Amino acid sequence: MTGARRTDLHPDVEAMLAALESGFPDVTAYSATEVREIILSRRSPLTRTPDMKRVKNVTIDGPGGGLPLRVYTPHSVGSSPAPVVVFAHGGGFVFCDLDSHDELCRSMADALGVVVVSVDYRRAPEHPAPAAVEDVYAAVCWTADTIAEYQGDPRRIAVVGDSAGGNLAATVSIAARDRGGPRITAQILIYPLIDNDFTTESYEKYGVGYYNTAKAMRWYWDQYAPDGTDSELIVPTRAASLTGLPAALVATAELDPPCSAGDDYAKKLAAAGVPVLSHRFDGLFHGFLTFPQLSLTGPARTELWELMRQVLALGGESPT
């Protein structure tokens, strides 16, 4: 793995990476509880923007007890039911929550005119895999049964996740197919953690010096899957077949160690006959979508929203 950072990066990316490298904790030096406390202490106050027509916190019966959800209905939703996104946040399976991704969920709902159901799934290591998968699956089932009360269309449910949440969106799509569960119209995987192969090209190039390190990634997987990764509910490529899965958007970030695995998963899905859109955000790093202060994030989000519209249209009626 190389240690020197590329010299051709956008100045704002270089500045952001320098700030993150100096300010983000070395997660491997702390317990999961300590990591959560450190990250929470450095979080900016909630902006609660963009404004929504309705935001409601609900707790449903999950497989591990009460499962908190946050449902966002944007102002653009009128008399006709809107498409729905069940969203799983990132955070290495260990940290982050409904608040950490509140702004992103609001922006997604506002831009796409979709109802968003954000899931506060159980986190590792206290709740190892597949607890998080089962929680997100339970949220999908609840959404199919209940979302009409929030002006959502139960026939048009997509699963979306960033980072660890991208893994959960992929594995929940497999679970829903194999269990005969609710129909998922699209899976949208944003710089997803597909597997724990640390020998790929992107791990070799970007495993050091780009905020999300190979060392940290090993720690995340150790927390999440201490008993191994043989199950398709943990690593989606372990599935016997990828045939029959929902239409997919796989969006990766070039400067991200898991990038190669995400790009490769898009190819595997396409080879299995799944309609796939694949896009790599060149010159950007893991997690960039949750940094709206970065000058390149706004244009990248606009591009992502358009790709999401396209894949939602592949899986069902377009949201616009």
pLDDT digits (tens, 9 = 90+) for 105-118: 999 999 999 999 99
Place of tokens 């796989």: 250
The pLDDT of 82-98, averaged and rounded, is: 98
The pLDDT of 20-43, averaged and rounded, is: 94
CA distance 174 to 166: 13
Quick one: pLDDT at residue 6?
93
The CA-based angle 43-46-49, given to 5 degrees, is 135
Report the mean per-residue pLDDT for the chain.
Answer: 96
Quick one: pLDDT at residue 241?
98
Contact 236, 170 (CB under 8 A): yes
Quick one: pLDDT at residue 319?
39
Quick one: pLDDT at residue 4?
79
Give residue 316's pLDDT band: very low, low, confident or very high (50, 70, 90).
low
Percent pLDDT > 90 in the chain is 94
Quick one: pLDDT at residue 237?
98
The pLDDT of 48-52, averaged and rounded, is: 97
Hey, CA dihedral for 217, 128, 242, 320, is it positive or negative?
Answer: negative
Catalytic residue positions, numbered: 163, 256, 286
pLDDT digits (tens, 9 = 90+) for 240-277: 999 999 999 999 999 999 999 999 999 999 999 999 99
Contact 269, 245 (CB under 8 A): yes
CA distance 281 to 297: 10
The pLDDT of 307-312, averaged and rounded, is: 97
Quick one: pLDDT at residue 3?
62
Q: What is the pTM of this model?
A: 0.97
The secondary structure element, H or E, covering residue 83 is strand 82-88
Domains of the chain (ranges, CATH numbers): 11-315 (3.40.50.1820)
Give the CA distances from residue 145 to residues 149, 156, 317, in Å, rounded to whole numbers and listed in that order: 9, 12, 19
Give residue 320's pLDDT band: very low, low, confident or very high (50, 70, 90).
very low
**pLDDT at residue 2 tops 80:** no
The pLDDT of 142-149, averaged and rounded, is: 98
Give residue 314's pLDDT band: very low, low, confident or very high (50, 70, 90).
confident
